[in-house]
Structure 1
Amino acid sequence: MARLAGNYTHWHNLVYSTAWLTGRLDHAALREAWRVLCLRHDVMRRAYVSPDEACTYEDVLTEVEFHSADTDDEALETMRRTLVGAPFSLDAIGLSRIVVVRRDDRRHLFGIALDHLITDLTSWNLLVAELGELYERAAAGERIGCETEGAASYQEFAALLRQEFAGRWGEERRAFWRAYTERFGSSSPPLPSAGAAKGEPAVKIVRRALPADAHSRVRQLARQARATPFVVVTAAILAGMKEATGASSVGVSVAHHGRALPYTAKTLGQFVQRVPLHLDGEPGGPLETVRDVFGQSLDVFDYALPLDIVERSWGLDLTSSIGGNGAHVTLDQSGEGFRGSPLAGTRAEPVQVPAPGGHGLVDPLIFAWWLDEAVPRVVVHYDESLITTEAVEAVVDVAARFAVSDGR
């Protein structure tokens, strides 16, 4: 909704992945698989008229683009230009792209791009898996139907959400979030600032290696607190922010899957909802802090809503309470990609095709924990024009010690 209202103009809004495919590629089967996929899922035929109004077309809005190239460099440039060369426009029709660049009969460059308004990571993985299944069936000569089983349409989900929101379910959530903002306030104190931002964000990265056994230590603290590893690393960041700011209350945002309503497990669309987690009061030890944050997480996940939408009708400032810096926390969250081979009979080799200007930052401060890697680490992306490097490093210092502590 923020982008529909004109924000995030520096962000290219593309969710995409590209790969070299080696093996025989059936162009006609891919074209048919994509057509059926788009007809099965209404979100692939969705367009936005305004921040408050969307429409769904009956016909497919995008088709597979086929190109050819004489060299790998030419293929990569063609993919860059056609797949990611321009952001999606809300004034245009079609929020998806699929491109194939042929090098020879057994080698193609393949890419899919979606507007972030119609997908999340779960939806991306569902789309890639279903496209692969449809492609395999089409390549075998099977006639594919456009019906889906066990999945509601995105339009049905949105209608049910509005219906629930207008009743007791919505009133309970309104009362919860009103009480939440009364407790934590409508903003969180900022980290030391580098000054007012001018122009596009100055994206910087801080990487901090963790002990080799960091994963087992985080899991041990989670078991002691009867919480989850994700809550442990989130509590660690909150503890770091509290020490860096000296404030009585600090907050971050985390992602909730948003698929709580029936028949949404296999539905394509943007379901993820950002909810806040805060830490207030006198600082305790890691074990006490994790337990406090875990208890809070049970409530905010249970009452999760698209807060940036409902705050306008409720007259509450909810989104700014998600961390004064727009701080966001993730754990072992890989981005969109093609796992294995997306299309039967081919072998995929991922390749980077940078979008113009890079990804930018949706939030000015993103803490990503990578505990499943060979070298566990914390990686922080931040806007240096808003937040000082010293402040970021101070938070990471505390958070790293907290996460691998024995809980005392």
Structure 2
Amino acid sequence: MTAAVEAARRLPPAQRAELRVRLWRRGLTGAAAGLDDAGPAPASCGQDAMVYLHRRAPGSTAYHTPVACRLTGQLDVDALRHALAELVRRHEVLRTSLPLRDGRPVQLVAPAAPVPLESCTAAAAAALRRAPFDLAAGPLLRAGLVRLDERGSVLTLTFHHAIVDGWSVGVLTRELVELYTAAVTGRAAVLPPVVPQYGEYARWQREWLAGEQAERGLRFWLAHLADPPGPLPLPAGRPRPAGPALRGAVHEVLLPPALRDDLAALARRCGATPFMVLLALFQVLLARVSGAADILVGTQLANRRRAELHGLVGYVSNVVVLRGRPRQAPTFAAFLAAVRTTCLDAYEHQEIPLDVVVRELAPPRPPGRNPLFQVGCTLHPTPEPVPAAAGLTVTPLAPDGADDARLDLELDAVDGADGLRCAFTYAADLFDAATVAGWADTFTALARQAAADPDADLEWAPPPDHDAEPAVRQVFADLLGLPAVDPDADFFALGGHSLLALRLAERLGDGFSLSGWLAAGAPASARRAAALLREPVLREPMLSVPDGRT
């Protein structure tokens, strides 16, 4: 070991992180400079979270990332196989698995090998997409090819989110087109070297987190999220299942071009961005339907402010939690100004991984719920056109159907020529389709009102009536061991006792997102419990466990 290498290894972690970035700018890696040992790289913070979630729900598809492209023209299947193999050879993360070493996940990179490209039916391709991954063993990429006719095929790629993010998909698509074109035409592909690889990014991230800049960012998040509210009380139609995985479903609405343009003009007048307007509308909607005053919403940020990371494939994106109190704002314009400040502050500190923030805050982790936030909102960039590939027209396709839900409710918006397409992905185990459709209609109406008169007073009518009585009666019946219960019958008269009352309070509090159930005790009857679900704030005490009942 040379004196220079020895000196570099003795640097404090934050200084090693800075040295890595300087090496990357010169096209060099930390390994070439002797910074790294021969062992596997640690998992990134995002990968740590993926392993944790996977162990809780190994069969869930919530974190599968499906990509599908229609290929129109004369397809050279051998050239496509070659291009896929080259893609995986270039990017080590595509052949990485995440086994545990000493209780912590590490990145184990497999040797480069051809990617199996299965010729399959559409049904078989859907099955490939939903088949569970084994994060510890890999591979975390699957490919399928559906032949439609002589001049039409659909290429399907399914990744686990532990190895890609939305930005990565764009990088991979462009490189796959170039590699395929090079294979068909017999020329060398024109692509930049991959520096850094994702394993070194994870090493850099761990080192950077030990520095003063990361410490300042963490202090910001701990202050921003101090004393977080409990779970958002969205009115659910059914009790929450015990397990962490929830079936997903999607309801879409389209804000037409004129309305989209009016909202963009509002953003410009207020010095905001279209995403800030979208988030403000979403938080006002959530305040209306839940009655909550303090609302936490997660959003995905690309987290690639450093130019050295623009060509990196891997899970680099980060979720930041944006806090809003729409009921404190007199008008939508006033609330948008507050949202703007919140977003700008969050963007400044977006490199602090959510996993680190959650670990430091240590919020309660109710079973089957995401800590801190249960709803998300993201405005995705407009997809760039994919260049032709040696006589093929490549058209990205939206995935069919919905995966398992990551959160109770997510709003994903994409701008296009036909307007702003807003997809409400929801946990179908909790919410009825008609309920979510109603929320989407309210969201559209809010958008029109905000665009027409952002200085009008915000109205806070009570949440719409929500009939949860059938589901609540079923909870009563399940715990009491009865086939059915009278909605007005007293819980204790039906055979309930103190232990069952506590279990009932826990089931209702978790299943229907109502804070305060455990503190207040069990409701007197199923009808009273369902009525309380319609109240934005619990104002009346529920029945406490009576003395002498066992």
TM-score scaled by length of structure 2 = 0.63
Aligned length: 395
| 2:343 equivalent in structure 1 | 297
Distance (whole Å) between structure 1 residues aligned to residue 370 and residue 333 of structure 2: 23
| Residue 500 of structure 2: aligned partner | none
Q: Which residue of 2 aligns with 1:192?
A: 235
1:260 alignment counterpart: 305
Retained in 2: the 8 A contact 1:252–1:322?
no
- What is the CA-CA distance between 1:266 and the residue it aligns to? 0.7
Match of 2:376 in 1: 328
Matches within 5 A, 1:195-274: 195-198=238-241, 201=246, 203-208=248-253, 210=255, 213-274=258-319
Residues 172-199 of structure 1: per-residue CA shift (max 9 Å, x gap): 12211111122x6254532223342237
Distance 1:84 1:346 in 2: 24
1:302 aligned partner, one-letter code: E
- Which residue in 2 is equivalent to 1:135? 180
CA pair 190-112 structure 1, distance change in 2 beyond 3 A: same
Question: What residue identity is the alignment partner of 2:329?
Answer: P
Question: CA 1:340/1:249 → structure 2, altered by over 3 Å: closer, same or farther?
Answer: same
Q: What's 1:24 paired with? A: 74
Higher relative contact order (CA 8 A, sep 6+): 1
The structural deviation recorded for 1:333 is 5.3
Please give the root-mean-square deviation of Cα atoms over the aligned residues, in Å.
Answer: 3.5
Instruction: Report the equivalent of 2:92.
Output: 42
Match of 1:70 in 2: none
Q: Could you say which residue in structure 2 is the equivalent of 1:164?
A: 208
After superposition, the Cα gap between the structure-2 partners of 1:128 and 1:179, relative to the gap in structure 1 and judged at 3 Å, is same
Superposed CA offset, 1:282-332 (max 9, x none)? 122121111111111111121124644214653543999989661111235
Query: What residue is the counterpart of 2:141 in the other structure?
Result: 96
Partner of 1:155: helix, strand, or coil? helix
Q: Is the contact made by 2:141 and 2:159 (CA closer than 8 Å) also made in structure 1?
A: yes
- Look at both structures and tell me which one has the larger radius of gyration over its CA atoms: 2
Are 1:286 and 2:332 counterparts? Answer: yes
How has the CA–CA distance of structure 1 residues 65 and 206 changed in structure 2, closer, same or farther, with 3 Å as cutoff? closer
Structure 2 residue aligned with 1:344, among 390, 405, 409? 390
2: CA distance, partners of 1:262 / 1:271: 13
Q: Residue by residue, what CA displacement relative to the aligned partner does 1:231-259 show, whole Å, maximum 9, x if unpaired?
A: 01101111222233333311211111111
1:407 — aligned with what?
Answer: 454
Residues 339-348 or 314-323, more deviating = 314-323
Change in CA separation of 1:349 and 1:75 when aligned onto 2, cut-off 3 Å: farther
C-alpha displacement of 1:163? 0.9
SS at match of 1:331: strand
Mapped to 1, the partners of 2:278 and 2:252 lie a distance apart of 15
Residue equivalent to 2:105? 53
The change in CA–CA distance for 1:397 and 1:153 in structure 2 (over 3 A counts) is same
3-state SS of paired residue (1:404): helix
Q: Return 5+ residue gaps in structure 1 as ranges.
A: 68-73
The 8 Å contact of residues 80 and 353 in structure 1, kept in 2 or not, is answered as no
Shift of residue 132, structure 1, vs aligned partner: 1.0
The 8 Å contact of residues 14 and 84 in structure 1, kept in 2 or not, is answered as: yes
CA separation of 1:283 and 1:150: change in aligned 2, threshold 3 A: same
| Greater fraction strand | 1
1:263 partner SS: helix
- Relative to the length of structure 1, the TM-score reads 0.82
Q: CA deviation at 1:205?
A: 4.4
> How many Å separate the matches in 2 of 1:47 and 1:396?
41
- Checking the alignment, whether the CA contact within 8 Å between 1:188 and 1:249 is kept in structure 2 is no
